[in-house]
């Protein structure tokens, strides 16, 4: 891979988009490499994945406009489909994913952040969907994930206007979980993944599956799914270890079994 790197830090993987000469902008190759990296990580099974952009100027400044300007409609549809597939690997991965956002997170960059479970933004982060100003629309899930996250009215306002918002405003509307000092997003994400990794990995994964399920089904169906996941975990060694450790007043040692 030329533009995506994976760094392993104990039980956590850091996936970095590194195309700094283009502010980490997404073209077809970059998106395909993101998908390839995520498939590799899913088979390796870290306890959490941090997604970030190289440098402090941009998380991902958006899609590569020059590359898109030469696309015919069928090429554009294929590019969108490849993007959807990569974002689904983030969204539906059993592994918790955290976006550490520095600088610009525009268009496709914002869509990558939206596909993660949790978003941590540095003070210099800027979010937005400028696509309508180019005569197109967000094509990697922005029109679908943003309304689910912040509500349809606010999402439509941001998409229809193409307005950029600061990290602070993104926090106010629920687009990001927290805002930290400039240059501190990655460290804050590492601290959060340490909290996640301290818990039972199977419990975290099944919790993510149940929470994702809630977005797709009615309440009764979601509750049935939750009960099934709850029951499945009682067959694991981790559940016995966790409850025994609680009774023995010690720290549990989870093995993911």
Active-site residue set: 111, 131
Burial 118-143 (b: 16+ CB within 10 A, else e): bbbbbebbbbbbbbeeeeeebbbbbb
Rounded to whole angstroms, the Cα distance separating 75 from 4 reads 23
Contacts of residue 33, Cβ cutoff 8 Å, sequence gap at least 6: 1, 2, 3, 4
Report how far Cα 129 is from the mean position of its chain's Cα atoms: 17
- CA-based angle 101:131:129, to the nearest 5? 35
Alpha-carbon Rg of the chain, whole angstroms?
19
Token representation of residue 56: 């402090």
């Amino acid at each position: 891979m030329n533009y995506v790197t994976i760094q392993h830090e104990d039980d956590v993987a850091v996936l970095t988009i590194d195309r700094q000469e283009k502010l980490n902008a997404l073209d077809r190759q970059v998106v395909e490499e993101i998908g390839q990296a995520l498939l590799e990580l899913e088979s390796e099974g870290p306890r959490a994945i941090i997604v970030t952009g190289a440098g402090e100027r941009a998380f991902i400044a958006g899609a590569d406009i020059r590359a898109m300007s030469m696309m015919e409609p069928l090429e554009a549809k294929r590019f969108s489909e490849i993007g959807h597939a990569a974002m689904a690997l983030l969204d539906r991965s059993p592994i918790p994913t955290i976006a550490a956002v520095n600088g610009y997170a525009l268009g496709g960059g914002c869509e990558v952040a939206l596909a993660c479970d949790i978003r941590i933004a540095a003070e210099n982060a800027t979010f937005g969907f400028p696509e309508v100003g180019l005569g197109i629309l967000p094509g990697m899930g922005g029109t679908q994930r943003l309304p689910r996250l912040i509500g349809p009215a606010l999402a439509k306002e941001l998409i229809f206007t193409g307005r950029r918002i600061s990290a602070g405003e993104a926090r106010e509307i629920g687009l990001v979980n927290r805002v930290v000092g400039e240059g501190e997003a990655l460290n804050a994400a590492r601290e959060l993944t340490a909290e996640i990794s301290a818990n039972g990995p199977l419990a975290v994964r099944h919790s993510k599956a149940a929470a994702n399920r809630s977005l797709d089904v009615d309440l009764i169906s979601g509750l049935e799914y939750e009960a099934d996941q709850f029951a499945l975990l009682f067959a694991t060694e981790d559940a016995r270890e966790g409850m025994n450790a609680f009774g023995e007043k010690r720290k549990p040692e989870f093995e993911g079994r």
